Structure 1
């Protein structure tokens, strides 16, 4: 996590900085609010600002927002009274940290505000297979497209890829293409020159330059306007960008990871997404299964969230009861991991007694998890067990598993034989022979979609 400290490094503030560094934060320092804005404008990015409460926090946040820079702020200070702390919160700070600091408080604030504590947790065979594929390609320079329903953990997978890449010591920058209006996204990505438009009071470095040397995540790229997609394609092909209002191309060295919860091949056929951009992004496709498709992950994730939110709320860690585990596994989780996380956060707060029981696990509307989504009877448990075993492919021969892996990989690559062969680590000739063999058996073979693989064979 990148931490920008704003204020004079007195003894107590310096101690807080050392504690943050001990928890993995990369720290930079300036003394004044205007220096902080200027540093962020130049592309010296930060995930969190730690600001001395005597600095005008409201003015700092306003200056950042005028430059379309949104970084959370925590205030801190020595001898600050309750009124001072309350004033910083009213000014826009997310938290107030009294100094001298406590190590546990620093760690909790960094985790809560920056939300970096999101490890990739898996126990289900279907998810482990995807992680295995991610491990194969993580150290490559290939662009990767991560697909799956909302809430399955696409950004967590993107961070996992970065952390296991050769760029792990460089920045990981994320841009949510769906959260930024079309008329602002170009400047956010590519930056702008002074005077490029009303309000452009100085040169602003965009996310491409901020990520130079590292990884740029284009989250929900399917929501990007088609006109901007053309400029993005040029940036990916030539590794140069043009700032808005600029005349000199700027070279960048980045790896691109993109995510989408939409079918991009269908978006291409509908004319809302460029086929050539999809080809450029989809060198490797990682499809994350929904939580319904990986029931083995549910107990492991539930246990992790219980520990996380028990620590965050200062309550004891209670184990999840056997009945609650069955209820969790039986629920459909249409919101996937995100929905499960929220449910376990509520359960930590509502649980009574030595265990987290079914009654403590509530849906967003406050209704208990029991009912239509859960039947603890023998027939329901048998169906759940059979479903989990089927997904784990228990009982298949090696040849059957090989066939499943080849066809699934080909499907992930939208029928592109060359990409599938590269991922599988076999020659294109071997792949074609296998596909001919499966076709002769009457097995449908995924065809190249929308002409994407025509140019590469």
Structure 2
């Protein structure tokens, strides 16, 4: 809010130059219609007469804040990403958004939530990189009283808090591989288990995740993301399109998977695969991991967390189904 006597046009211009996207509300003593018109013509969203009326101010701020949540893009590449997000939003797709820090991944996540059927439900954001590893499991899945030192009472996790809505897992690639396995179960089975409990809790939560890393390149380069992350990146999050309002190379990319069967395609011709069976995902994970290990079954089994015998049985099954199995070398 600013005084109507201030140079509102200059203020709006300066905000745009600094890329600060906040609505400007002018205020002034009395109800001078001419001042109100000038303020709005200069770029203010609303005009509030003083002395202030608390209910009026609350209503105006709510209105302009809701309006400011609308994403605006002029760059053609970013428009493509927004069109893709709008196609994915109404589904129950699990979505991965990748891009460098500062490219608006969390804003895009909120946009998808607001465009979804869950818009009236909660939107819970969790920064996986900011929470210590030993506390993140409790933060996500909750704990029972006495589960560990300091657990003085039951606490529900963020997945339960987001029931009926959306949970954002910001920087999911920073999560420890062992915790990724539990996350994978939450994605697949829609169930979580609090620390210190054996009882499963059903959760109706849509998952949106973000990462500032190229997960595929990380896996191929040095296996820094283990089997569970490979499963997440290769299976539950299928790569999509990328763009940015500033530069197409800096932008968030969005992708999704849902229980339905069709494919969605953006204007760049990049396909988003929507819907795959667990067996298909498992097969691709195993075969891709073996290929990454240059056919070395011992190494592949270690990464996958299964025995060599189980891997051999799976590969024999896939071979009988006509799948090309990577060989050593």
Question: TM-score, structure 2 length as denominator?
Answer: 0.57
Matched, 1:271 2:200: no
How far apart are the structure 1 equivalents of 2:97 and 2:206?
A: 14
| C-alpha distance after superposition, 1:317-353 (max 9, x if no partner) | xxxxxxxxxxxxxxxxx8x89xxxxxxxxxxxxxxxx
Q: CA deviation at 1:405?
A: 2.1
How far apart are the structure 1 equivalents of 2:67 and 2:129?
A: 21
How far apart are the structure 1 equivalents of 2:158 and 2:268?
A: 36
How far apart are the structure 2 equivalents of 1:247 and 1:155?
A: 33
State the match for 1:300 in structure 2: none
How far apart are the structure 1 equivalents of 2:127 and 2:243?
A: 18
2:107 pairs, out of 133, 142, 156, with 156
State the match for 1:131 in structure 2: 82
How far apart are the structure 1 equivalents of 2:93 and 2:238?
A: 6
State the match for 1:27 in structure 2: none
State the match for 2:152 in structure 1: 201
Q: What RMSD in Å do the two structures reach over aligned CA positions?
A: 3.7
Matched, 1:146 2:97: yes
2:178 pairs, out of 227, 240, 249, with 227
Matched, 1:292 2:247: yes
How far apart are the structure 1 equivalents of 2:80 and 2:208?
A: 19
State the match for 1:84 in structure 2: none
Matched, 1:405 2:268: yes
Q: Is the 8 A contact 2:95 2:237 kept in 1?
A: yes
Q: Compared with structure 1, are the counterparts of its residues 234 and 260 closer, same or farther at alpha carbon in structure 2 (3 Å cutoff)?
A: same
Matched, 1:240 2:191: yes
Which runs of structure 2 are paired with 1:403-442 in the superposition (5 Å)?
A: 405-406=268-269, 409-410=270-271, 419=273
State the match for 1:320 in structure 2: none
Q: Is the 8 A contact 1:209 1:252 kept in 2?
A: yes
Q: Is the 8 A contact 1:148 1:290 kept in 2?
A: no
How far apart are the structure 2 equivalents of 1:100 and 1:194?
A: 47
Q: Is the 8 A contact 2:215 2:233 kept in 1?
A: yes
Matched, 1:255 2:206: yes
Q: CA deviation at 1:197?
A: 1.2
Q: Is the 8 A contact 2:138 2:194 kept in 1?
A: yes
Runs of at least 5 residues in structure 2 that lack an aligned partner in the other structure:
1-51, 253-264, 276-284, 292-317, 324-329
State the match for 1:187 in structure 2: 138
How far apart are the structure 2 equivalents of 1:188 and 1:125?
A: 39
Q: Is the 8 A contact 2:109 2:168 kept in 1?
A: yes
For residue 155 of structure 2, give the secondary structure of its aligned residue in structure 1.
coil
Q: Is the 8 A contact 2:241 2:268 kept in 1?
A: no
Runs of at least 5 residues in structure 1 that lack an aligned partner in the other structure:
1-98, 295-333, 338-401, 414-418, 424-447
How far apart are the structure 2 equivalents of 1:196 and 1:180?
A: 19
Q: Is the 8 A contact 1:146 1:287 kept in 2?
A: no
| C-alpha distance after superposition, 1:389-415 (max 9, x if no partner) | xxxxxxxxxxxxx99822xx15xx6xx
Q: CA deviation at 1:107?
A: 6.3
For residue 149 of structure 1, give the secondary structure of its aligned residue in structure 2.
coil
Q: CA deviation at 1:266?
A: 2.2
How far apart are the structure 2 equivalents of 1:228 and 1:403?
A: 33
| C-alpha distance after superposition, 1:397-443 (max 9, x if no partner) | xxxxx99822xx15xx6xxxxx2xx59xxxxxxxxxxxxxxxxxxxx
For residue 156 of structure 2, give the secondary structure of its aligned residue in structure 1.
coil
Q: Is the 8 A contact 1:144 1:286 kept in 2?
A: no
Q: CA deviation at 1:111?
A: 9.0
Q: Compared with structure 1, are the counterparts of its residues 117 and 224 closer, same or farther at alpha carbon in structure 2 (3 Å cutoff)?
A: farther
State the match for 1:451 in structure 2: 288
Q: Is the 8 A contact 2:74 2:245 kept in 1?
A: no
Q: Compared with structure 1, are the counterparts of its residues 249 and 145 closer, same or farther at alpha carbon in structure 2 (3 Å cutoff)?
A: same
Matched, 1:282 2:237: yes
Question: TM-score, structure 1 length as denominator?
Answer: 0.42
Q: CA deviation at 1:106?
A: 8.0
How far apart are the structure 2 equivalents of 1:116 and 1:259?
A: 25
Count of aligned pairs between the two proteins: 217
How far apart are the structure 2 equivalents of 1:251 and 1:215?
A: 15
How far apart are the structure 2 equivalents of 1:121 and 1:145?
A: 21
